[in-house]
Amino acid sequence: MRTFKKESGELIDVIKHSIDTLSEHSDTKVYVGSDSQNRGALTRYAVAVAYRYGNKGTHYVYHRFVTKRITDRWRRLWKEVELSVEVAKQLEENSIKVYCVDLDFNKKEMARSHEMVAAARGYVKGSGFECSVKPEEQVASKAADHIIRG
């Protein structure tokens, strides 16, 4: 299991945190999303689990890591999909229902990631999860983007 942190930087057990959050707020929806960015000789990744409390707000926890720069764009972005599905599966294996896996891809043809949408959606749905892509609602991938840029 990956090490997750709260926004404050406090280390947490994502399974326990999810169970506690869901028991305190019954209307919570759980989203999982990832983002990545190349900087210098490194590729930075962030995976976020976002908890949306109906219409009353959202908080997230995250895992962040760096690796040697991945120059192949397809490979770097596909890793985002794999990371999100991996975390979503771990949550569901612990009876935590994942509402949606957010993909930081855009289905508009002018976007550079549009050519990956069909394959990524197929992989996520084949793994048993609903998914969203831009311009659809993005909860966890927005949090992951915020973490990567921070």
- Mean pLDDT over 119-125 rounds to 95
More confident residue, 134 or 35: 35
- Mean pLDDT over 47-53 rounds to 96
Residue 9's region, left for phi above 0, alpha for psi from -120 to 50, else beta, is left
Total residue count of the chain as it appears in this document? 150
The residue assigned the tokens 């959202």 is 58
Check residue 148 and give its pLDDT.
92
112 pLDDT band, cuts 50/70/90, is: low
